[in-house]
Structure 1
Amino acid sequence: MEMKEPLCLIACTTNNKLMVNQEALKILSSFEQPVVVVSIVGKYRTGKSYLMNRLAGKNKGFPLGCTIQSETKGIWMWCVPHPHKDDHTLVLLDTEGLGDVKRGDENYDTWIFILAVLLSSTLIYNSMGTIDNDAIMKLQFVTTISDHIKVRSSCKDEDSQYADFFPSFVWVVRDFHLDLSIDGKCIPPDEYLENSLTLKEGESEQISSYNAPRECIRKYFPSRKCFVFKLPVPHGKLNTLEKLKNADLDPVFVKQTSEFCNYILSCGGKTVFTGESTITGSMLATLVKTYVEAIQKGQVPCLENAVVALCQLKNFAAVEKSYALYRQLLGERVLLPTETQEELDRVHEDCKKEALQEFMASSFKDDDQRYQNELLSHINDEYEKKCTDNRDLSMNHCTDLLNRIFGRLAPGCFIRKGGYEAYKAKQNALIQEYRRSPGRGIEV
């Protein structure tokens, strides 16, 4: 399934409260493929939506604007097939611009930024002009991350743990017009970013204020990348940008954009959380719902609680699916009663192995094997029931067969001379007939 156009995922009410769009959540829940989530944040009217359209391989999609008014409200979602990863869905999240003077709510801006961090594989920060102190200070959100996100629900959070859960960080500088050089030496954009994040020595209040956002960016986002872009067209043509083809744009900008898209789609990013487990669209939908509900209740979103919620949802479904597969395979591969117990045991082991393989492919972070053991318990119960049914069917069949065969043995017919020998011969013949009869099972 491919979305033809973006849809609002998280909307904002008139009093700046966040709410999930159920239609978008339903669409996201329908994707059982692994997802790669790329979100973009930054000041409003800085061209974020245009970059996201380029990542989608489209000229149009997320709405562009040519006035001072912010176009995107809340967080919008566009799910498209990933161009470089088979059987993956690329989820693009375009966020409402930070610092909208009309909204004028710093707390709202903070939660938009926090949600982008929580939901992303790659987080793009879009800014204009240069990476100067003013641009970095606009990222003061990072200094309050520990106030707005908890790693653990009970114990004190360690700052070092955040980096394990956070996305890769890409800083994009738009309309960059300076030479990338220091002391006459050309430097790559990544070095430009790292130089901008260099800390000052000293302990004064001014230096502490200067260092605070830089320390947080370095600490929370150890995986960092930087891209710079020239102005794509003269200012007078920006309002027609979505109608222009690459041939109409500045060639340097086209090259820079291509390098950016190739990196984001091929190299950048990890899966949500630690990068160790696959996140599907339905799981991402659960995260969206979990985080927004926490914010609505005035709570701090907790990564551990979100993981627990995903584990319960995903692993319960994995147990049910794998158990159903075991029962299906066992029913298809064995006909009761079996001739021997070993035959049933062998089929049971084969079916159990395939069910466990299905569970391992479908489960999520079952580190303590709680759900795997639950599955094995269900399988063993089903197997014991099958063994009981096997014995009962065999016993009933053997009893009916004995009654039918030996019912033909009429003792009165042998009350004559030589009757005993005739009786024994007939009895032995009937016993051989019984033993030759198929389908007797294990209760022979």
Structure 2
Amino acid sequence: MPIEIKMPALSPTMEEGKLAKWLVKEGDTVSSGDIMAEIETDKATMEFEAVDEGTIGKILIPEGSEGVKVGTVIALLEGEDDGTVEAPAAKAAAEPAEAKPVEPAPAAAPMAPPVVAPALAPATPSSKEGRILASPLAKRIAAEKGVDLDSLTGSGPNGRIVKADVEAAQPGTGKPRPATPAPAPAAANDAAPASPAPVAMADETRQLLDDRIPHTVEKLSGMRKTIARRLAQSMQQAPHIYLTVDIRLDRLMAMRAEMNAALEKQGVKLSVNDMLIKALGKALIDVPECNVTFAGNELIRYARADISVAVSIPGGLITPIVQDANGRSLSSIATAMKDLGQRAKEGKLKPEEYQGGTASISNMGMMGIKQFTAVINPPQSTIVAIGAGEKRPWVMPDGALGVATAMSATGSFDHRAVDGADGARLMAAFREYVESPLGMVA
């Protein structure tokens, strides 16, 4: 009996996904651990590995298909002892007649060599029918460095080439992968290429559209759909309360400069955001009433501060998590954020690295935004929005008027779980850690 290969649930909350790319085709032999497809979830593109051994008998869902429900059968795998699937050569020879009609030809035409003959060439250990077994990230890095993947030996499962293999190769020593040749110029009497097919619009889209204005219509990505659904849920279900404080940054900036000078030999560079993550983690432990989740009939209280950090990526937003932000060193937070931020932009985060967390921080100061309010990231109850640091008139401790570097921070709280007084205590604790930063490392 054929083995059904079903759309996997690559994260606890995944309900559907996009079958971005098949890395095998019908007739290929796969073993446990082989990468068969790339699945695009709402936040990342992840690789789908084979669990069983056998031959790909039928691909039921073509690549590029969106909204494929978890559990949908996407392909059939024939075991070694199954005799129900034709051999690749026999199948290829039998399919042309029913795949598409052919123009009338002389009787001898059926004897022409089958066009699938090259596909019968034996596969090398590193590829199947010419396909290099390498992760998408390894391929991208190899193209940038000019490294020939054929010359590398993979250290991943089943000899698969991974990022570390490419980075260890000497840049420029291999030949770059040949570029796809450009199509030949069309002859004068050739028909003009057809324009891309328009996106099929829903009825509600047509009702909103103003045809008088030049426009394009594009389908929402899975990420954008998830963002829209979760933020609407947050604003509708969680009554938000907003509390803003102004915070002086001079001491924090001075300590950052001193620490970066000391960490330079280690290749670590602290950002202001790294230090704010630490400050929020410490404040949440000091005010545990804000480190909670409202669960309807219960309130979940967390004993550790795992901070979700809003990161803008192409097509949307993702929130990688700095675990144990209250207990980690500043250098550890900086190292973790550098890695998480890079992999977030490449779509390579694991679900457990961006799902969960106990509170969030969103910093738009680098964009010049002075102050804003952020939408709570459910099921959390707290998010702190950070504005730009800027020179402002400031009343100094001795009462004199001076100039200080200051920023505005606004906490958004789920009022079902967090009282206003507790939210105010959290913002006061956060301000204290930022203005007296030695308290973060004591």
**If the length of structure 2 is used for normalisation, what is the TM-score?**
0.21
Instruction: Return the index of the structure with the highest Cα Rg.
Output: 1
Instruction: Give the structure with the larger helix fraction.
Output: 1
* Higher RCO by CA contacts (8 Å cutoff, separation 6 or greater): 1
